[in-house]
Amino acid sequence: MSSAGDRPARTPANVMCDWGGSRLRAFLDVDGRIAARASGPGIARLGEQTPADVLCRTLAPWRTSHHFERIMLSGMAGSRTGLAEVPYVRAPAALAQWRSAAQSLRCGEDTVGILPGIQAQNFRDVPDVMRGEEAQIFGALRLRARLAEGRRMMVLPGTHSKWVEVRDGRIARLQTYFTGELFELLCTRSSLLRLGGTFEADEDGFDVGVRNAARYDLAANLFEARSAQLIEGRSAGWARSFLSGVLIGAEVHSMGAMPNAARGELTLIGDPQLTERYRRALGASGIEAQCLDGDDCVLAGLRAAAEGMSNE
């Protein structure tokens, strides 16, 4: 019979975290399967909290039943405002280079491994950077081995959308678009959607926005979101979807005109609803794309990074 002071044995587990500017996504990995998920605020939304406090609180519910053998973090955890700044790896960068540049540090009772971001030239030959998307890309290469062959283009929609050229399994170049953050700013801080109503998605509004993006410049398109509500009786949901179509369509149209960009089938990685919107916009331009789930890819990438790394 156990004494009152005895603790039950805790199950060994790894913790994999994708920590972006908008949110923290944590995965409890037990014997190669995801036993639980948790979320927290992104690095840009911590308020008065420190990154270490947020990480500790997010993982606390799992500690009673699990012993953490390894904690791996990708994304903005390695930025200047994260747990510790981890220098970028310069492209062209393969998985081995990315993994070897990770840094370990003590965070409370844990040792955590923080992976770096990647610095590369964009398609206008201007420096560009990413933190977090590289984990999804290397994960996609693990999940779809053929993507590591030849020249490929991967698109990762999000707050700051990334178009990434991969050559023989190495991240070579990337192009960032401000699409997601601009959409949020227009929806919440501009006059375009302040007429009231619900924001139920409207595919017609999205398709109209995509078509307009190929015909007119961005500034000429935006105000239609407001005037269509005032004059044509369009709903707030139509206007919001229209803005989404205009911005995503502008991104697709711009990238299509970019010199030296990889052509052919694209691979979209991210939230299924968002990647489907991009696939729809790309299809309107006659571009084929396959979609991969962002969570599946980031987990595969973090597991690949953890391979061969010491527990120290």
| pLDDT tens-digit map of 134-185 | 999 999 999 999 999 999 999 999 999 999 999 999 999 999 999 999 999 9
State percent of the chain over pLDDT 90.
83
Supply the pLDDT for residue 307: 83
Rounded to whole angstroms, the Cα distance separating 132 from 17 reads 10
Residue 311 covered by a domain: no
Q: Indicate whether 66 belongs to any domain.
A: yes
In a domain, 312, yes or no: no
pLDDT of residue 170: 97
Q: Is it the case that residue 33 has pLDDT exceeding 70?
A: yes
Residue 285 lies in a domain: yes
Which backbone phi and psi does 265 adopt, to 5 degrees?
-65, 135
- Are 164 and 284 members of one domain? yes
| pLDDT tops 90 at residue 258 | no
**Residue 281 pLDDT:** 96
Q: What is the CATH number of the domain that holds 124?
A: 3.30.420.310
Q: What is the pLDDT of residue 9?
A: 77
pTM above 0.85, yes or no: yes
| Average pLDDT of the chain, as a whole number | 92
Residues 197 and 228 in one domain: yes
Q: Return the minimum-mean-pLDDT range out of 51-60, 139-148, 192-201, 264-273.
A: 192-201
Do 20 and 101 lie in one domain? The reply is: yes
Q: How confident is the model at residue 3 (pLDDT cuts 50, 70, 90)?
A: very low
Q: Which distant-in-sequence residues (6+ apart) come within 8 Å of 57 by Cβ?
A: 40
Band of the pLDDT at 8, cuts 50, 70, 90? low
Domain boundary among 92, 116, 140: 116
The whole-number pLDDT of residue 121 equals 95
The 10 Å Cβ neighbour count of residue 260 is 9
| Alpha carbons 152 and 229: distance in angstroms, whole number | 41
When pLDDT is cut at 50, 70 and 90, the band that residue 5 belongs to is low
- Tens-place pLDDT, residues 62-83: 999 999 999 999 999 999 999 9
- Residue that terminates a domain, selected from 97, 116, 135: 116
Residue 52 included in any domain? yes
The CATH number for 17's domain is: 3.30.420.300
Q: Are residues 133 and 153 in the same domain?
A: yes
Shared domain check, 85 and 29: yes
Instruction: Give the pLDDT confidence of 106-126 residue by residue, as tens digits.
Output: 988 889 999 999 999 999 999
What residue numbers bound the domain in which 177 lies?
118-306
Mean pLDDT of 179-205: 89
Q: What is the pLDDT of residue 291?
A: 97
